[in-house]
Chain A
Amino acid sequence: MSEPQLSYEQARAELASVVERLEAGGGTLEDSLALWERGEQLADICQRWLDGARARLEAARAAREES
């Protein structure tokens, strides 16, 4: 997966709109599937950002405990 260029906020905002469109329904099957895939991808990006942030936090805390 390429390095997510989207910022966390951008990914989350797009995810919200994807979900909205999916829930509104009415799209073609093909579109709905594509939307669903995009939604999953965005959710992963967000999760990666959150995990990254938590990791940095832990690393900083660990580094401080050692020093």
Chain B
Amino acid sequence: MTQPETPKSTPEEPWPVRVVSQKIGSWVSKLGWVWVDGQVAQISRRPGASTVFLTLRDPSADLSLTVTTNRDVLDIGAPELNEGARVVLHAKPEFYAARGTLSLRADEIRQVGLGELLARLEKLKKLLAAEGLFARERKRRPPFLPSRIGLITGRSSAAERDVLTNARRRWPAVEFRVVNVAVQGPTAVPQMIDALKVLDGDETIDVIIIARGGGSVEDLLPFSDEALCRAVFDCRTPVVSAIGHETDIPLLDYVADVRASTPTDAAKRIVPDLAEETRLIGLARQRLGRAVTGLLDREQHRLDAVRSRPVLARPHVMIEQRATEVGALRDRAARSLDHKLAAAAGDLRHTLARLRALSPAATLERGYAIVQRADGQVVRAPSDVAKGDELRVRLAEGDLSAAVTDSPG
């Protein structure tokens, strides 16, 4: 039956509530039957009543819907359904005009088993990996010494205590900003995403740790939630995942910038150990000092060695050496001089003797005389001279001068 086309509502001719709610009803039913995935937050089963009311929450977002169903549908599809269970139901939206409330009318409910959940998780993992959310090069290194650490964890949980005490023991001056959230159940993911936004927006925080102690696979499911993984991936601040025990590896571990095996391990990785660092610095300083003094000592030794070389240490050696050389030369010179002198003296004597032997002196001694012309020519024959020539007569003890008186023939 088609609805009679009523004229447009105007301030002058408004539609009564019954018309509006009737229209809403028809609009709502246009959605038709849908399969819905969600987490059961509440079940209200009143004894004797055939209808059961459920509150169904979205696993990632802070949204929920009320579901009405028949008790048998529930008993058949999801016996002993309890809160927190993950379900898939086939339902149609219904607008309950009397009170203007909307709810889903379910005609089939299935409980999602753990196996199914894990299978979905694997599929999600491949999807996120394909999208590059796990890419190693996208991972950022937290600072060596964070000035302020954001911590998302359960209120006064063991995880919170482990992170805080270990971090403070290692570096007493470390500062934390803790945001306590539900760490399991349907409200966990939305709260964690909000906490992430708050801490990521806080400029003073340079690393965020998401920490949770051990728990069952179901307990840890929120840490493999797609929305949470995407929120962590989009964070500007490096995120450290410290979930459960060593063996637990939720998807968050793949997306986070650093994966710590446990909350304590997170503290150890993120906060340097003051005592250890001071010791290392002390060590480095010692080695620094030793290296420089070692160098100085070595160079000093080399310089001392060079300075002790004879040519530098005892320069007078150089002079003495030359002095002795000069002395030696002088001696040689003197000796060779003596030789020469002696030889010369010998020669002289010898020549003298010969001179003497050849010299007329001896003959003159014996009374002879040498007659020379004026020109020095020795007169050997009267013809050498002429009458009146000036003559020089050399006697043993002196000379005379004479003249030719007569020159025979």
List chain A positions with a Cβ less than 8 A from chain B.
8, 12, 15-16, 19, 22-23, 29, 32-33, 36, 39-40, 43, 46-47, 50, 53-54, 57, 61
Contact = CB atoms under 8 A, between A and B. Distances in A.
B300 interface: yes
Contact of B311 (A12, A29, A39): A39
A8 B300 CA distance: 12
Interface stretch (B9-17, B41-49, B153-161, B288-296): B288-296
Nearest to A47: B303
B294 to A, nearest CB: 11
Contact of B312 (A43, A50, A61): A43
13 contacts: A12-B299, A19-B306, A19-B312, A22-B312, A22-B318, A29-B319, A33-B315, A40-B312, A43-B307, A47-B303, A50-B300, A53-B292, A57-B292
Given A12-B302, A15-B306, A36-B318, A23 B311 contact: yes
Nearest to B300: A50
B30 interface: no
Interface in B296-326: 296, 299-300, 302-303, 306-307, 309, 311-312, 315, 318-319, 322
Contacts, number: 47
B interface, size bucket: 10 to 19
Given A8-B299, A57-B293, 14 more contacts: A12-B299, A12-B306, A15-B306, A19-B311, A22-B311, A29-B319, A36-B315, A43-B303, A50-B299, A50-B300, A53-B292, A53-B296, A57-B289, A61-B289
A46 B311 CA distance: 17
Closest 3 CB pairs of A and B: A22-B311, A36-B315, A46-B303
A54 B303 contact: no
B82 to A, nearest CB: 66
A57 B296 contact: yes
A12 B300 CA distance: 11
A20 to B, nearest CB: 9
Interface of B: 289, 292-293, 296, 299-300, 302-303, 306-307, 309, 311-312, 315, 318-319, 322
B300 A19 contact: no
Nearest to A53: B296
Contacts of A16: 306
Nearest to A64: B285
A45 B377 CA distance: 87
Contacts of B318: 22, 32-33, 36
Contacts of A53: 292, 296
Nearest to B302: A12
Contact of A50 (B289, B296, B306, B311): B296
A50 B299 CA distance: 8
A54 B306 contact: no
A36 B303 contact: no
Contacts of A57: 289, 292-293, 296
B377 to A, nearest CB: 62
Contacts of A22: 311-312, 318
B312 A39 contact: yes
Nearest to B321: A25
Contacts of B300: 50
A4 to B, nearest CB: 14
B322 A29 contact: yes
Contacts of B293: 57
A16 B309 CA distance: 11
Contacts of B299: 8, 12, 46, 50
A55 to B, nearest CB: 11
Contacts of A32: 318
A57 to B, nearest CB: 6
A64 B309 CA distance: 39
Contacts of A43: 303, 306-307, 312
A23 B318 CA distance: 10
A21 to B, nearest CB: 9
B158 to A, nearest CB: 43
A54 B311 contact: no
Contacts of B306: 12, 15-16, 19, 43
Contacts of B319: 29
